Structure 1
Amino acid sequence: MEVLIAFIVLTVGLLGTVALQSNAKQASYDANQRSAALALANDIVERIRANDSADLVANYTKTFSYLDTPSEKQCLNTRCSSSGIAEYDLYQWQKALRVGDNTGSLANGTVCISPSEDGNGVNLRVIVAWQGRQKLTESTNASINCGNVSNRRTVVLDSYIFRRSA
Protein backbone atom coordinates (compact mmCIF):
# COMPACT_ATOMS: atom_id res chain seq x y z
CA MET A 1 0.00 0.00 0.00
CA GLU A 2 2.82 2.44 0.85
CA VAL A 3 4.43 1.79 -2.55
CA LEU A 4 1.15 2.57 -4.31
CA ILE A 5 0.76 5.89 -2.44
CA ALA A 6 4.40 6.81 -3.17
CA PHE A 7 3.83 6.02 -6.84
CA ILE A 8 0.71 8.25 -6.95
CA VAL A 9 2.58 11.12 -5.24
CA LEU A 10 5.48 10.73 -7.69
CA THR A 11 3.08 10.69 -10.68
CA VAL A 12 1.31 13.85 -9.53
CA GLY A 13 4.68 15.56 -9.01
CA LEU A 14 5.88 14.59 -12.48
CA LEU A 15 2.64 15.79 -14.09
CA GLY A 16 3.02 19.12 -12.28
CA THR A 17 6.59 19.43 -13.56
CA VAL A 18 5.46 18.77 -17.13
CA ALA A 19 2.69 21.40 -16.85
CA LEU A 20 5.17 23.91 -15.42
CA GLN A 21 7.59 23.26 -18.29
CA SER A 22 4.79 23.73 -20.84
CA ASN A 23 3.77 27.09 -19.33
CA ALA A 24 7.40 28.20 -19.22
CA LYS A 25 7.84 27.41 -22.93
CA GLN A 26 4.72 29.40 -23.83
CA ALA A 27 5.87 32.37 -21.75
CA SER A 28 9.31 32.19 -23.35
CA TYR A 29 7.74 32.20 -26.82
CA ASP A 30 5.58 35.22 -25.97
CA ALA A 31 8.60 37.07 -24.54
CA ASN A 32 10.56 36.35 -27.74
CA GLN A 33 7.66 37.67 -29.83
CA ARG A 34 7.46 40.85 -27.72
CA SER A 35 11.20 41.43 -28.13
CA ALA A 36 10.93 40.99 -31.90
CA ALA A 37 7.94 43.38 -32.07
CA LEU A 38 9.78 46.00 -30.05
CA ALA A 39 12.88 45.68 -32.24
CA LEU A 40 10.75 46.03 -35.39
CA ALA A 41 8.90 49.06 -34.00
CA ASN A 42 12.19 50.73 -33.02
CA ASP A 43 13.59 50.04 -36.49
CA ILE A 44 10.54 51.63 -38.09
CA VAL A 45 10.80 54.74 -35.92
CA GLU A 46 14.52 55.17 -36.60
CA ARG A 47 14.09 54.76 -40.36
CA ILE A 48 11.32 57.34 -40.39
CA ARG A 49 13.45 59.66 -38.25
CA ALA A 50 16.29 59.34 -40.80
CA ASN A 51 13.95 60.15 -43.72
CA ASP A 52 12.20 63.20 -42.24
CA SER A 53 11.25 64.92 -45.47
CA ALA A 54 8.35 67.33 -46.01
CA ASP A 55 6.15 64.48 -47.29
CA LEU A 56 6.82 62.18 -44.32
CA VAL A 57 3.14 61.86 -43.42
CA ALA A 58 2.13 60.89 -46.97
CA ASN A 59 5.05 58.48 -47.36
CA TYR A 60 4.67 56.57 -44.10
CA THR A 61 0.96 56.44 -43.28
CA LYS A 62 0.52 52.72 -43.77
CA THR A 63 -1.03 49.56 -42.36
CA PHE A 64 0.24 46.19 -43.52
CA SER A 65 0.18 42.62 -42.30
CA TYR A 66 1.97 39.33 -42.75
CA LEU A 67 -0.50 38.47 -45.52
CA ASP A 68 0.57 41.36 -47.75
CA THR A 69 3.05 40.45 -50.47
CA PRO A 70 5.77 43.10 -50.52
CA SER A 71 6.56 44.68 -53.85
CA GLU A 72 10.31 44.82 -54.26
CA LYS A 73 12.03 48.18 -54.17
CA GLN A 74 15.80 48.74 -54.39
CA CYS A 75 17.58 51.78 -53.03
CA LEU A 76 20.99 50.35 -52.18
CA ASN A 77 22.91 50.89 -55.43
CA THR A 78 20.74 53.64 -56.88
CA ARG A 79 19.89 57.18 -55.93
CA CYS A 80 16.41 57.36 -54.39
CA SER A 81 14.13 60.23 -53.45
CA SER A 82 12.60 60.41 -49.98
CA SER A 83 9.46 58.67 -51.26
CA GLY A 84 11.66 55.95 -52.83
CA ILE A 85 13.43 55.46 -49.52
CA ALA A 86 10.03 55.22 -47.80
CA GLU A 87 8.95 52.54 -50.30
CA TYR A 88 12.19 50.66 -49.64
CA ASP A 89 11.61 50.90 -45.88
CA LEU A 90 8.06 49.55 -46.28
CA TYR A 91 9.40 46.71 -48.44
CA GLN A 92 11.93 45.77 -45.74
CA TRP A 93 9.30 45.88 -42.97
CA GLN A 94 6.83 43.77 -44.91
CA LYS A 95 9.55 41.17 -45.46
CA ALA A 96 10.25 41.18 -41.73
CA LEU A 97 6.62 40.29 -40.97
CA ARG A 98 6.41 37.31 -43.33
CA VAL A 99 7.07 34.37 -41.01
CA GLY A 100 5.94 31.96 -43.71
CA ASP A 101 8.94 32.95 -45.82
CA ASN A 102 11.26 32.33 -42.84
CA THR A 103 12.27 36.00 -42.92
CA GLY A 104 10.12 37.33 -40.10
CA SER A 105 9.67 36.52 -36.48
CA LEU A 106 6.13 37.59 -35.56
CA ALA A 107 3.20 35.21 -35.76
CA ASN A 108 0.41 36.82 -37.78
CA GLY A 109 1.97 40.27 -37.40
CA THR A 110 0.37 43.58 -38.36
CA VAL A 111 2.00 47.02 -38.36
CA CYS A 112 0.06 50.29 -38.24
CA ILE A 113 2.06 53.49 -38.80
CA SER A 114 0.19 56.75 -38.26
CA PRO A 115 2.16 60.00 -38.40
CA SER A 116 0.36 63.32 -38.01
CA GLU A 117 1.54 66.91 -38.56
CA ASP A 118 2.16 69.04 -35.48
CA GLY A 119 3.75 72.44 -35.92
CA ASN A 120 7.48 71.95 -36.57
CA GLY A 121 7.37 68.19 -36.53
CA VAL A 122 5.38 65.00 -36.68
CA ASN A 123 3.68 62.98 -33.97
CA LEU A 124 4.36 59.36 -34.82
CA ARG A 125 2.53 56.31 -33.52
CA VAL A 126 3.71 52.84 -34.49
CA ILE A 127 1.64 49.84 -33.39
CA VAL A 128 2.89 46.31 -33.91
CA ALA A 129 0.33 43.58 -33.25
CA TRP A 130 0.77 39.81 -33.38
CA GLN A 131 -0.83 36.57 -32.22
CA GLY A 132 0.35 35.25 -28.87
CA ARG A 133 0.06 31.69 -27.65
CA GLN A 134 -1.25 32.28 -24.16
CA LYS A 135 -4.86 33.27 -23.63
CA LEU A 136 -5.48 36.65 -22.04
CA THR A 137 -8.20 39.20 -21.64
CA GLU A 138 -7.35 42.25 -23.71
CA SER A 139 -8.12 45.76 -22.53
CA THR A 140 -10.79 47.63 -24.40
CA ASN A 141 -8.62 50.66 -25.20
CA ALA A 142 -10.25 52.00 -28.37
CA SER A 143 -7.18 54.02 -29.41
CA ILE A 144 -5.21 50.85 -30.15
CA ASN A 145 -6.91 49.43 -33.22
CA CYS A 146 -4.40 47.39 -35.20
CA GLY A 147 -4.72 43.72 -36.13
CA ASN A 148 -7.61 41.39 -35.44
CA VAL A 149 -6.10 38.00 -34.60
CA SER A 150 -7.06 35.94 -31.58
CA ASN A 151 -4.86 36.35 -28.47
CA ARG A 152 -3.67 39.66 -29.92
CA ARG A 153 -0.62 41.28 -28.36
CA THR A 154 0.48 44.83 -29.13
CA VAL A 155 3.49 47.08 -28.75
CA VAL A 156 2.81 50.81 -29.13
CA LEU A 157 5.57 53.36 -29.68
CA ASP A 158 4.74 57.05 -29.63
CA SER A 159 7.46 59.43 -30.79
CA TYR A 160 7.89 63.01 -31.94
CA ILE A 161 10.09 63.83 -34.92
CA PHE A 162 11.39 67.37 -35.36
CA ARG A 163 11.51 68.20 -39.04
CA ARG A 164 14.78 69.62 -40.36
CA SER A 165 14.54 73.01 -41.97
CA ALA A 166 15.05 72.97 -45.73
Structure 2
Amino acid sequence: MQVKVKGFSLIEVMVSLVILVIGLIGIFNLHIVAKQGSFESFQQTQASYYANDIVNRMRMNPSELNNYEGTYNGGTSAPTKACDVGIGGNTICTNIETRLWDIYQWERSFQGENEKSSGANVGGLDSTTACININDRDVTVVMTWRGIRASTDGLSEGSTFAKSCGTSSNRRRALVINTAIL
Protein backbone atom coordinates (compact mmCIF):
# COMPACT_ATOMS: atom_id res chain seq x y z
CA MET A 1 0.00 0.00 0.00
CA GLN A 2 1.42 3.40 -1.03
CA VAL A 3 0.90 6.51 1.04
CA LYS A 4 0.57 9.76 -0.92
CA VAL A 5 2.08 12.78 0.83
CA LYS A 6 0.74 16.13 -0.19
CA GLY A 7 2.53 19.46 0.23
CA PHE A 8 6.07 20.78 -0.22
CA SER A 9 9.21 19.19 0.98
CA LEU A 10 11.84 21.14 2.89
CA ILE A 11 14.17 21.09 -0.13
CA GLU A 12 11.54 22.69 -2.37
CA VAL A 13 10.98 25.45 0.20
CA MET A 14 14.74 26.12 0.46
CA VAL A 15 15.12 26.31 -3.34
CA SER A 16 12.20 28.77 -3.49
CA LEU A 17 13.79 30.95 -0.79
CA VAL A 18 17.15 31.01 -2.60
CA ILE A 19 15.45 32.10 -5.83
CA LEU A 20 13.51 34.79 -3.92
CA VAL A 21 16.67 36.13 -2.24
CA ILE A 22 18.56 36.31 -5.56
CA GLY A 23 15.65 38.25 -7.07
CA LEU A 24 15.54 40.68 -4.12
CA ILE A 25 19.29 41.32 -4.33
CA GLY A 26 18.86 42.19 -8.01
CA ILE A 27 16.03 44.59 -7.20
CA PHE A 28 18.08 46.33 -4.49
CA ASN A 29 21.05 46.73 -6.83
CA LEU A 30 18.77 48.13 -9.52
CA HIS A 31 17.43 50.63 -6.99
CA ILE A 32 20.97 51.81 -6.12
CA VAL A 33 21.90 52.24 -9.79
CA ALA A 34 18.65 54.14 -10.44
CA LYS A 35 19.34 56.53 -7.54
CA GLN A 36 22.86 57.20 -8.82
CA GLY A 37 21.54 57.86 -12.33
CA SER A 38 18.89 60.18 -10.95
CA PHE A 39 21.51 62.14 -9.00
CA GLU A 40 23.77 62.40 -12.08
CA SER A 41 20.81 63.73 -14.05
CA PHE A 42 20.05 66.25 -11.30
CA GLN A 43 23.67 67.47 -11.40
CA GLN A 44 23.45 67.89 -15.19
CA THR A 45 20.28 69.97 -14.75
CA GLN A 46 21.98 72.15 -12.13
CA ALA A 47 25.02 72.69 -14.38
CA SER A 48 22.71 73.75 -17.20
CA TYR A 49 20.98 76.23 -14.90
CA TYR A 50 24.29 77.75 -13.72
CA ALA A 51 25.69 78.05 -17.26
CA ASN A 52 22.50 79.75 -18.48
CA ASP A 53 22.50 81.99 -15.41
CA ILE A 54 25.89 83.52 -16.22
CA VAL A 55 24.99 83.84 -19.92
CA ASN A 56 21.88 85.82 -18.96
CA ARG A 57 23.93 87.99 -16.58
CA MET A 58 26.35 88.74 -19.43
CA ARG A 59 23.45 89.62 -21.73
CA MET A 60 22.27 92.18 -19.17
CA ASN A 61 25.72 93.78 -19.03
CA PRO A 62 27.03 93.68 -22.63
CA SER A 63 29.53 96.54 -22.22
CA GLU A 64 31.53 94.33 -19.80
CA LEU A 65 31.16 91.15 -21.86
CA ASN A 66 34.88 90.55 -22.51
CA ASN A 67 35.71 90.99 -18.82
CA TYR A 68 33.57 87.99 -17.82
CA GLU A 69 36.15 85.72 -19.45
CA GLY A 70 38.12 83.52 -17.06
CA THR A 71 38.24 80.41 -14.91
CA TYR A 72 36.12 80.30 -11.76
CA ASN A 73 36.11 77.83 -8.89
CA GLY A 74 34.58 79.75 -6.01
CA GLY A 75 37.63 81.77 -4.99
CA THR A 76 36.34 85.23 -5.88
CA SER A 77 36.10 87.46 -2.84
CA ALA A 78 33.03 89.59 -2.14
CA PRO A 79 32.99 92.89 -4.01
CA THR A 80 32.82 96.13 -2.06
CA LYS A 81 29.33 96.89 -3.32
CA ALA A 82 26.33 94.55 -3.45
CA CYS A 83 24.32 95.11 -6.61
CA ASP A 84 21.14 93.18 -5.86
CA VAL A 85 18.19 95.34 -6.75
CA GLY A 86 14.98 94.57 -4.94
CA ILE A 87 11.57 96.15 -5.12
CA GLY A 88 11.91 99.70 -3.91
CA GLY A 89 15.70 99.38 -3.81
CA ASN A 90 17.78 102.29 -4.94
CA THR A 91 21.16 100.63 -5.40
CA ILE A 92 22.84 101.98 -8.50
CA CYS A 93 25.92 100.13 -9.70
CA THR A 94 28.31 100.79 -12.53
CA ASN A 95 28.74 98.13 -15.21
CA ILE A 96 32.04 97.05 -13.61
CA GLU A 97 30.44 96.72 -10.16
CA THR A 98 27.60 94.75 -11.69
CA ARG A 99 30.05 92.34 -13.38
CA LEU A 100 31.97 91.81 -10.14
CA TRP A 101 28.72 91.18 -8.26
CA ASP A 102 27.44 88.83 -11.02
CA ILE A 103 30.57 86.67 -10.86
CA TYR A 104 30.57 86.63 -7.06
CA GLN A 105 26.89 85.62 -6.87
CA TRP A 106 27.30 83.05 -9.62
CA GLU A 107 30.25 81.38 -7.91
CA ARG A 108 28.43 81.31 -4.57
CA SER A 109 25.50 79.67 -6.34
CA PHE A 110 27.40 76.82 -8.02
CA GLN A 111 29.43 76.24 -4.83
CA GLY A 112 26.14 75.56 -3.03
CA GLU A 113 26.13 78.52 -0.67
CA ASN A 114 22.42 79.14 -1.26
CA GLU A 115 21.52 75.83 0.41
CA LYS A 116 22.92 75.01 3.83
CA SER A 117 22.42 72.27 6.38
CA SER A 118 24.00 72.68 9.82
CA GLY A 119 26.13 75.51 8.42
CA ALA A 120 27.61 73.43 5.58
CA ASN A 121 26.95 74.03 1.88
CA VAL A 122 24.77 71.22 0.53
CA GLY A 123 23.60 72.67 -2.79
CA GLY A 124 25.58 73.26 -5.93
CA LEU A 125 27.95 70.87 -7.64
CA ASP A 126 30.90 68.90 -6.25
CA SER A 127 34.38 70.29 -7.05
CA THR A 128 33.08 72.73 -9.64
CA THR A 129 35.25 74.63 -12.10
CA ALA A 130 33.62 76.98 -14.60
CA CYS A 131 35.38 78.49 -17.59
CA ILE A 132 34.21 81.28 -19.86
CA ASN A 133 35.77 82.01 -23.23
CA ILE A 134 34.73 85.00 -25.34
CA ASN A 135 35.72 85.40 -28.97
CA ASP A 136 34.21 88.62 -30.32
CA ARG A 137 30.55 88.03 -29.33
CA ASP A 138 30.71 84.21 -29.34
CA VAL A 139 30.61 82.92 -25.78
CA THR A 140 31.55 79.44 -24.56
CA VAL A 141 30.69 78.46 -20.99
CA VAL A 142 32.07 75.18 -19.64
CA MET A 143 30.90 73.78 -16.30
CA THR A 144 32.86 70.82 -14.89
CA TRP A 145 32.21 68.92 -11.68
CA ARG A 146 32.94 65.58 -10.04
CA GLY A 147 30.35 62.90 -10.73
CA ILE A 148 29.20 60.27 -8.27
CA ARG A 149 30.64 57.22 -10.04
CA ALA A 150 33.55 56.44 -12.33
CA SER A 151 32.90 56.65 -16.05
CA THR A 152 34.81 58.24 -18.89
CA ASP A 153 36.19 61.77 -18.72
CA GLY A 154 33.34 64.11 -19.61
CA LEU A 155 35.60 66.11 -21.94
CA SER A 156 37.70 63.41 -23.57
CA GLU A 157 36.29 64.46 -26.95
CA GLY A 158 35.90 68.21 -26.24
CA SER A 159 37.63 71.24 -27.68
CA THR A 160 41.05 72.30 -26.39
CA PHE A 161 39.44 75.11 -24.36
CA ALA A 162 36.86 72.78 -22.83
CA LYS A 163 39.46 70.10 -22.01
CA SER A 164 41.53 72.67 -20.11
CA CYS A 165 38.61 73.44 -17.76
CA GLY A 166 38.77 71.50 -14.49
CA THR A 167 40.86 68.47 -13.63
CA SER A 168 40.80 65.52 -16.00
CA SER A 169 39.58 62.32 -14.36
CA ASN A 170 37.21 59.41 -14.91
CA ARG A 171 34.66 61.18 -12.70
CA ARG A 172 34.79 64.59 -14.42
CA ARG A 173 31.43 65.59 -15.82
CA ALA A 174 31.02 68.56 -18.12
CA LEU A 175 28.46 70.79 -19.76
CA VAL A 176 29.47 73.08 -22.63
CA ILE A 177 27.26 75.89 -23.87
CA ASN A 178 28.07 77.95 -26.98
CA THR A 179 26.04 81.06 -27.69
CA ALA A 180 26.30 84.51 -29.19
CA ILE A 181 25.58 87.67 -27.23
CA LEU A 182 24.67 90.56 -29.48
Range into which the TM-score falls when normalised by the shorter chain: 0.7 to 0.9
Structure 1 runs not aligned, ≥5 long = none
Structure 1 outlier segments of 4+, above 6 Å: none
TM-score, normalising length: structure 2: 0.78
Give the root-mean-square deviation of aligned CA atoms.
1.8
- Alignment partner, residue 78 of structure 2: 71
Q: Does 1:112 align with 2:131?
A: yes
Alpha-carbon distance, 1:94 to partner: 1.1
* Shift of residue 64, structure 1, vs aligned partner: 1.1
User: Percent identical across equivalent pairs?
Assistant: 35
> What's 2:175 paired with?
155
- The answer on 1:56 being equivalent to 2:81 is no
Number of residue equivalences: 155
Which residue is 2:151 aligned to?
Answer: 136
Q: Tell me, in whole angstroms, the C-alpha distance in 2 between the residues paired with 1:106 and 1:123.
A: 26
What is the one-letter code of the residue matched to 1:141? G
TM, length-normalised to structure 1: 0.85
Greater C-alpha Rg? 2
Q: Distance in 2 between the 1:141 and 1:92 partners? A: 28
Structure 1 residues 38-47 or 102-111, which shifts more?
102-111
CA distance in 2, matches of 1:116, 1:84: 23
2:29 aligned partner: 19
Q: String of CA shifts for 1:65-104, please: whole Å, max 9, x gaps.
A: 14x2542441135321111111010011110122374274
User: Is structure 2 residue 134 aligned with structure 1 residue 124?
Assistant: no
C-alpha separation between the residues in 2 aligned to 1:141 and 1:149? 12
Does the Cα contact within 8 Å between 1:115 and 1:123 map onto a contact in 2?
yes
* C-alpha deviation, 1:131, in angstroms: 0.8
How far the C-alpha of 1:152 sits from its partner, in A, is: 0.7
Q: Which runs of 5+ in 2 are unaligned?
A: 1-10, 85-89, 114-119
Which one scores higher on RCO, CA 8 angstroms, separation ≥ 6? 1
CA 1:69–1:83 in 2, change beyond 3 Å: closer, same or farther?
Answer: closer
Measured after TM superposition, the shift of residue 149 of structure 1 is 5.9
* CA drift at 1:4: 1.3
SS in 2 for 1:99: coil
Instruction: Report Cα offsets for 1:95-148 as digits up to 9, x if no partner.
Output: 01223742742111111011122xxxx110000111111221233434222111
Q: Distance in 2 between matches of 1:90 and 1:63?
A: 11
Structure 2 counterpart of 1:90: 103
The code of the aligned residue for 1:65 comes to: N
